[in-house]
């Protein structure tokens, strides 16, 4: 167990374990059909049209982060989560990292539901793109030269991953939504040891923009406007 759960990175370890458990449950429940649209949907995937028709399905905006479509999709995202999650958890601390992951993933799935409402979507990439965006934005926020350099190096990774988003069966909307959320949240959650450098006005402004976008899109999704 000690090789599976790393106490230095508790949230990253738990996210990996939970996502793996969901993937295995899909295989156990659906067998060879575990990567079909029906399996993804019944395991918690997001479909905008379903949420529009039934607001009680809003929980899918969060659960879809833990559902994957096929082995390749699952393995690629878990490898990325392993390395990127540990880095982010080091930078922000466990609680802030969990908030960044879930809030980015949720915003990404809101974008999916709004801009591709007839598509069944799932995957941790919405949250992972949020982490990419957060780390990429740090070069404009932090004082540490090391973190600034690290942040700058992630810019190329973001561009490469966005290019891959144009490939078939990959949700560009989800990736962009997660990325937007991640950049905004970089101004909300300070890096460890740099809280005193974070301007309060930036935190409030970024929080309001994030919440404004979230509620605006949710309002449209639920036909409240």
Determine the Cα–Cα distance for residues 139 and 96; give it in Å rounded to an integer.
18
Instruction: Provide the 3-class DSSP secondary structure of residue 46.
Output: strand
Strand, coil or helix: what is 19? helix
- Taking a C-beta distance cutoff of 8 angstroms, is the pair 199, 154 a contact? no
Cβ atoms of 68 and 123 within 8 Å: the answer is yes
DSSP assignment letter at 190: P
| Active-site annotation holder among 43, 104, 125, 171 | 125
For this structure, is 201 an active site residue? Answer: no
User: Residue 13: CB partners within 8 Å, gap ≥ 6?
Assistant: 4, 5, 6, 7
Q: Is 125 a catalytic residue?
A: yes
Of the residues 43, 73, 104, 175, which is catalytic? 175
Residues designated catalytic: 125, 175
């Amino acid at each position: 167990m000690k090789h599976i759960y790393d106490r230095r990175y508790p949230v990253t370890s738990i996210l990996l374990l939970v996502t793996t458990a969901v993937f295995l449950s899909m295989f156990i429940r659906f067998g060879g059909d575990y990567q079909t649209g029906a399996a993804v949907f019944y395991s918690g995937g997001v479909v905008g049209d379903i949420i529009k028709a039934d607001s009680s399905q809003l929980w899918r905006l969060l659960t879809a982060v833990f559902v994957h479509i096929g082995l390749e999709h699952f393995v690629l995202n878990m490898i990325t989560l392993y390395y990127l999650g540990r880095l982010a958890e080091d930078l922000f601390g466990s609680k802030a990292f969990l908030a960044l992951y879930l809030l980015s993933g949720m915003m990404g799935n809101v974008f999916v539901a709004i801009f591709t409402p007839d598509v069944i979507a799932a995957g941790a990439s919405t949250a992972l793109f949020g982490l990419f965006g957060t780390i990429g934005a740090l070069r404009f926020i932090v004082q540490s030269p090391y973190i600034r350099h690290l942040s700058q190096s992630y810019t190329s990774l973001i561009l490469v991953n966005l290019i891959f988003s144009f490939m078939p069966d990959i949700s560009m909307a989800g990736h962009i939504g997660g990325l937007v959320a991640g950049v905004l949240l970089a101004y909300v959650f300070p890096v460890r040891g740099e809280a005193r450098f974070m301007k309060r006005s930036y935190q409030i402004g970024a929080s309001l923009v994030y919440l404004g976008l979230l509620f605006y899109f949710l309002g449209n999704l639920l036909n409240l406007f």
